[in-house]
């Protein structure tokens, strides 16, 4: 039985989580096509048919073989993009000793990723919109992972305990920062004249002042 004609499963019918080289290559091809389709067509028009055409597949059945449904594919898309962003972010976070510095690194790295990978960033924005607009089952956790609010709140809480930040409401501050980041990215992705480096510096300064220890 050829590996690219049936979905890999365990003996009880569930996905194995392990794939052959051919399967991994095909999944990556489908994920990349989904990223491009989301960015170009928007989430409301992203269908298996459009993704199949973008990937130059002979039928949508090849997508269905590798992914049980749209939520599974979209989740894989989100995790693929976030993994790329994490590869850029993590080494920089480790180089900084202060939580104030780590907050600045997070902001700067987010904008730098958007500059380097605008298509991927737009695809993530569409996934968040998909989860919110349709209440898509299975995408709630993906939306939370993309927005990183819990991660930002934890970073701020560590900073408060270390005495680097004042007694702020960390979750509220995390939501405010996420909203500010997304506001800048929204303008940037609409091809408006946005200087991401300057925006990063302004947000670092503004939120540093808001959260400063007193």
Q: If you write DSSP's letter for every residue of the chain in order, what string do you get?
A: --TTSS--B-TTSSB-S---HHHHHHHHHHHHHHHHHHHHH-GGG--HHHHHHHHT-S-THHHHHH-SSHHHHHHHHHHHHHHHHHHHHHHHHHT--SHHHHHHHHHHHHHHHHHH-HHHHHHHHHHHHHHHHH--TT-HHHHHHHHTHHHHHHHHHHHHHTTSB-S--HHHHHHHHHHHHHHHHHHHHTT----HHHHHHHHHHHHHHHTB--
Task: Say if residues 106 and 152 touch (Cβ distance below 8 Å).
Answer: yes
pLDDT in tens, 176-207: 999 999 999 999 998 888 999 999 999 999 98
Does pLDDT of 10 surpass 50? no
pLDDT at 16: 45
More confident position, 212 or 82: 82
Q: Give mean pLDDT, residues 206-211.
A: 83
Q: Give mean pLDDT, residues 130-151.
A: 86
pLDDT at 134: 67
Per-residue confidence at 138, pLDDT binned at 50, 70, 90? Answer: confident
pLDDT in tens, 30-74: 999 999 999 999 999 999 999 999 999 999 999 999 999 999 999
Mean pLDDT in the chain? 89
Q: Give mean pLDDT, residues 4-29.
A: 64
pLDDT at 135: 65
Domain boundaries, the chain: 70-209
pLDDT in tens, 62-121: 999 999 999 999 999 999 999 999 999 999 999 999 999 999 999 999 999 999 999 999
pLDDT at 17: 57
Does pLDDT of 213 surpass 70? no
pLDDT at 210: 79
Domain 70-209, CATH class in plain words: mainly alpha
């Amino acid at each position: 039985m050829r590996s690219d004609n049936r979905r890999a499963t365990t003996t009880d019918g569930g996905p194995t989580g392990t794939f052959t080289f051919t399967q991994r290559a095909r999944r990556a091809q489908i994920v990349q096509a989904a990223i491009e389709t989301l960015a170009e067509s928007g989430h409301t028009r992203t269908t298996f048919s459009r993704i199949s055409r973008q990937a130059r597949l002979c039928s949508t059945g090849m997508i269905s073989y590798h992914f049980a449904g749209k939520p599974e594919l979209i989740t894989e898309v989100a995790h693929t993009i976030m993994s790329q962003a994490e590869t850029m972010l993590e080494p920089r976070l480790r180089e900084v000793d202060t939580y104030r510095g780590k907050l600045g690194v997070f902001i700067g790295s987010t904008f730098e990723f958007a500059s380097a990978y605008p298509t991927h960033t737009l695809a993530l924005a569409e996934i968040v919109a998909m989860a919110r607009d349709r209440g898509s089952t299975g995408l709630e956790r993906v939306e939370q992972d993309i927005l990183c609010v819990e991660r930002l709140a934890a970073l701020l809480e560590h900073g408060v305990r270390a005495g680097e930040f004042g007694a702020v409401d960390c979750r509220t501050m995390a939501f405010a920062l996420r909203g500010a980041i997304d506001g800048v990215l929204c303008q940037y992705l609409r091809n408006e004249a946005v200087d991401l480096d300057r925006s990063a510096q302004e947000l670092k300064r503004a939120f540093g002042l808001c959260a400063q220890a007193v």
